Amino acid sequence: MPLAARPRSVRGMLLILLLPVGIGLMALAWFIHGALLERMSTDFVESRLKDEVAFLEHQIRQSGGRIDTLQTGDYFQEVFHHAFAIASPSGQSISPETWTPLLRPLLSSEQEGAVRVRGAGVSAAPSELLGYRRAFTIGGNPFVVIVAEDMEALQQSQAELHTWTAIVSVLLVILMVGSIWVGITLALRPVVGLRASLKKLQSGDISRINADGPEEFRPLVQQLNQLLDSLDDRLERSRDALANLSHSVKTPIAAVRQILEDTSRPLDENLRREMASRLDDIDAQLESEMRRSRFAGPQVGQSACPVKQSRDLLWMLGRLYPDKSFELSTDLAEHHRWPVEEHDLNEILGNLLDNAGKWSSRWVELTLGEDQGQLKIMISDDGAGVSDTARTQLGKRGLRLDEQTPGHGLGLAIVHAIVERYKGKVHYTSSKAGGLTAVVEIPGSDRFGSRSGN
């Protein structure tokens, strides 16, 4: 199974990812250290050998080419602590003599500058040396000077230093693993706290999870609390719906039963109408509670296209009221999205437009917009309008301002119930033509995050 598909703990995954990277970087640093150490030591020795060759050349020139005057008291070995070889027309001088098999071939060589000799296999002589060769003339006579360093001893010192570097690197890796472990443990403390909170939530000790924690966990906690709020809200709605339905249906059912059980009265036309009215009331209550049970309220991941839904509703209402004009005014793009559940937006728009269509004389105008983070819906008509006193009563459950107009007086109440779930508000004013303007404002980008998409 691929690594990415295997369930692992965060601590284990981080160690698996970070530990090899740390070890690899330490190994790379160790190899780079070895290469740089070799390069720096070689350059340093070569620089010293070059300076000593230059000094010997200066001494030989001052002596007029008489190198025998410079050999007294092992002068070069005492001053330079390096092996050397000098070739002149009068002969050759090599010190120490055990290095002769290594240095003599270099005197006859034509290579200038740094010279490296490896694996010579000469007893009492180093297996590797670094020399610097310079040829010059004095009074027309050729001279060759070579100063050499035993690189074997130097490499042993480098190997010892490199070994200690490896030991320190291993200790640093161990320290790094410990630091990573401690850091991960400290970083995951909020997860432990969140798990404890979930257990308390499950046992009923708390009703919500504390949102105070690292910034990375706050969205998760907020979403969990919002889910709990939504579940509580749905449970409360279900209980309210059952209570309301039970209370509202008992009276009509009792009245119908009383009529049917009263055998002393004939079932005339008036009684039939009364029974039909009671049954209409029951049907209206059932319809109202069924529609309320479908309200979603704010839901993460749910959104609607207000422009598209509005065009569809206006097209349908235009055929329901063919003698009236329904117009849409908006600056929103066709595919602009609002953080409102699609069915909820349909209920808001459908009830308000249907209400305006019933009361308008010739036209209804729907305006969609956004203003300072507020989602705004305005529906105006050119009807007779509503008095200031009556406007304050609009939206109350079962209220009908005109008993002659078909309906149960539930549409505006449903709109108010849905908008309240979104922490919005509904208010009414007079339209420019003297009719009614219904204004719906719902928190948008500030609370839920308005979105647009294709």
Provide CB contacts within 8 A for 326, sequence distance 6+: 314, 317, 318, 353, 357, 363, 364, 365, 366
- % pLDDT > 70, the chain: 78
Residue of higher predicted confidence among 337 and 289: 337
Q: Can you give the pLDDT at residue 72?
A: 39
Asked whether 206 and 200 are in contact (CB, 8 A), the reply is yes
237: confidence class by pLDDT, cuts 50, 70, 90: low
Provide CB contacts within 8 A for 135, sequence distance 6+: 112, 142, 143, 144, 145
- For tokens 């180093």, the residue is 126
Lowest mean pLDDT among 74-78, 93-97, 174-178, 234-238: 74-78
Q: Can you give the pLDDT at residue 407?
A: 44
218: confidence class by pLDDT, cuts 50, 70, 90: confident
Domain borders along the chain are: 13-156, 218-293, 306-452
**Residue 266: pLDDT over 50:** yes
Lowest mean pLDDT among 205-209, 217-221, 418-422, 442-446: 442-446
| d(C-alpha 383, C-alpha 386), whole Å | 9
Long-range contact list for 283-291, CB < 8 A, 24+ apart?
Answer: 284/408, 284/410, 285/244, 285/245, 285/248, 285/249, 286/245, 286/249, 287/408, 287/410, 288/397, 288/408, 288/410, 288/413, 288/414, 289/241, 289/244, 289/245, 291/347, 291/410, 291/414
- % pLDDT > 90, the chain: 11
**Residue 214: pLDDT over 80:** no
**Residue 297: pLDDT over 80:** no
| d(C-alpha 238, C-alpha 131), whole Å | 97
| d(C-alpha 436, C-alpha 384), whole Å | 8
Query: How is domain 13-156 classified at the architecture level of CATH?
Result: 2-Layer Sandwich (3.30)
Asked whether 315 and 348 are in contact (CB, 8 A), the reply is no
**Residue 77: pLDDT over 70:** no
Element (H, E) at 400: none
Residue of higher predicted confidence among 436 and 224: 436
Q: What is the residue-averaged pLDDT of the chain?
A: 77
| d(C-alpha 147, C-alpha 96), whole Å | 11
Q: Can you give the pLDDT at residue 446?
A: 46
Lowest mean pLDDT among 24-38, 112-126, 159-173, 405-419: 405-419
213-227, 273-287, 357-371, 396-410 — which one is most confidently predicted on average? 357-371
Q: Can you give the pLDDT at residue 366?
A: 94
CATH of domain 306-452: 3.30.565.10
Q: What is the mean pLDDT of residues 24-35?
A: 83
Same fold, 13-156 and 306-452: no
Q: What is the mean pLDDT of residues 91-98?
A: 80
Question: Using one digit for the tens of pLDDT, what is the confidence trace for 139-178?
Answer: 888 888 888 888 877 778 878 887 888 888 888 888 888 8
Q: Can you give the pLDDT at residue 46?
A: 85
| d(C-alpha 86, C-alpha 73), whole Å | 16
Q: Can you give the pLDDT at residue 131?
A: 86
**Residue 213: pLDDT over 70:** no
Question: Using one digit for the tens of pLDDT, what is the confidence trace for 326-339?
Answer: 999 999 998 898 98
